[in-house]
Amino acid sequence: DARGRDARAMLDGVVAAWDDVVRATSVAIAMPRGSTRFLLALALAPAIGLGFPALDRALRVAGVERDDARARARSAYALVTGTMLSAAAFGRATVVCAHFGACAYATMLATRRRCGYVVFAGSFAYLMRYHFVADTATAWKSGEVDISGLLMVLVLKVTACALNYQDAATTKASEMSEFQNRRHLKRLPSALDYASWLMFPCTLVSGPAIEFRDYSDWLRDRGVYARGTPNRVAPATRKLLGAIACLGIYQAVAMRYTIENTYLNPSWAQYSLAERIWHVYVYGQGNRAKYYFVWMMADFAATVSGLGFSGYDAMGKARWDTAANIYPIGVEKSVTLNAIPLSWNVKTGLWLRHYVYDRVTPKGKKPGLLQILITQIVSGVWHGLHAGYWLFFVSSAFAVNAGRLMYRWKQTRVPEKYRVLVDVPLWAFTHVALNYLCAAFILVDLKQCIQSWSSMHYFGHVGIAVLLVFGA
């Protein structure tokens, strides 16, 4: 009818206008259109986040006092804006989010006592298929960004929720870990809450994955949100300025160091070993700043929405780390490789710790290298199927274990006043070796990874082997 035609015409006009914005921005910043869409979505997320406190004020003015009514309004706003943001960034591919969420939710409805394992296996199988069909690693390497990153975050969400729902039905409270006690779900989330959590706009395009219990508490002003959210201007400003600083670092390095004039440089063989290590180190540092920027922008968006608040510390100071996925200073200060995951991709690290590492460790036994290897392999599969990811994460399993051994050796064998003499060379090796290992993550192609490492005489692997032997 006429109304339907008018609506379609208006939608077509909006899509055409958005395409014009993307095209013009892509030309202006000299980036592929996929990356441009991603960056624009990242920039829009904080503006959408500001809509949550605005919605709360509007509800108060309208006299809406019931908690369930406010929660439904927040959920509806999150679902609608999140879906629109995904469509703006990834177009029609957004429909796979509905497939993902519907299948996981139906599994929790159908088979509660096994839903965690079924959702885990099914979501990873779907993600692996998508990585393979879309060749996502090659797209990322060329500078494009597709919906696979969003799907990776959804995998963490749906598996965590299903396992927490399963735990409440299969594990006695007395047998639960402290983490399980805080996260288990006695009741199935409502379809609206579940869908809006999956599509929460502030952290949608880049992560991190936020636990459903935290999201549910925020929706209903429970837990740490029961007394209201403190002023967010100062923490939000700090996070924004930090993101801008990291973007500046990335841009400064990217102007001189790229994948083409480092790893793939035709003259690479003519460089001395010291020059190769230096180029890889600087390129790695700059490339890491890109991730700092992206995750800090997501944290900024969650902070302005109010969800970023996580309670008060022992000194009564407000904490804003519900969506904090990166602590750049913590990464750069890490003395051993096992300390880096505490500050890098933190929420994914917590997911790997609590939903993989802890669960593959037999009860009553201490985890060892096998548990680290399994966890790192799962992380590698999650990132993609290219050999570079497997090489990086398997190598990093040994690197993390070497870091643990060296930390234990230092604490038991070296007097405290002399530890700085050990810390300085360990810190230097940690960061040079990290950027050396990251060559595999960046290049992803097996032949290129081996060529890169061999051009540096596998010094990182040799150093890790020495630390393993020395710390044993």
Note whether residue 162 is domain-resident.
yes
Which has more pLDDT, 189 or 135? Answer: 189
- The pLDDT score that the predictor gives to residue 364 is 83
To the nearest whole percent, how much of the chain has pLDDT over 70? Answer: 99
Residue 24 falls inside a structural domain: no
In tens, the pLDDT along 167-183 reads: 999 999 999 999 999 99
Give the model's pLDDT for residue 27. Answer: 87
Tell me, what's the pLDDT at 65?
A: 78
Do 409 and 335 share a structural domain? yes
Same domain, 360 and 420: yes
Q: At which of 320, 352, 387 does a domain end? A: 320
Q: Answer whether residue 12 is part of any domain.
A: no
Task: Give the pLDDT confidence score for residue 452 in this predicted structure.
Answer: 94
The CA-CA-CA angle for residues 251, 256, 260, to 5°, reads 105
Which pLDDT band holds residue 137 (cuts at 50, 70, 90)? confident
Over residues 186-204, the pLDDT tens digits come to 999 999 999 999 999 999 9
320, 337, 364: which is the final residue of a domain? 320
pLDDT for position 32: 84
Confidence of residue 158 (pLDDT cuts 50, 70, 90): very high
Rounded to an integer, the average pLDDT of 298-319 is: 96
Q: For residue 139, what pLDDT band results from cuts at 50, 70 and 90? A: confident
Average pLDDT over residues 50-70: 91
Residue 161 is predicted with a pLDDT of 98
pTM: 0.94
* 419 and 400 within one domain: yes
Does any domain span residue 23?
no
Provide the pLDDT confidence category of residue 10 given band limits of 50, 70 and 90.
Answer: confident
pLDDT tens-digit map of 99-131: 999 999 999 999 999 999 999 999 999 999 988
379-428 pLDDT, tens digit per residue, is 999 998 889 999 999 999 999 999 999 999 999 999 999 999 999 999 99
Question: Which structural domain, as residue segments, surrounds residue 286?
Answer: 229-320
Structure confidence at residue 363 as a pLDDT band (50, 70, 90): confident
Task: Count other C-beta atoms under 10 Å from residue 114's C-beta.
Answer: 14
Residue 81: inside a domain = yes
Same domain as 145, residue 62: yes
| Res. 320: pLDDT tops 90 | yes
Give the pLDDT score at 164.
97
- Cross-strand partners of 312: 318
Among the listed residues 301, 73, 46, 297, the one whose alpha carbon sits nearest the alpha carbon of residue 196: 73
- Does one domain contain both 336 and 378? yes
Last residue of a domain, one of 302, 320, 338: 320
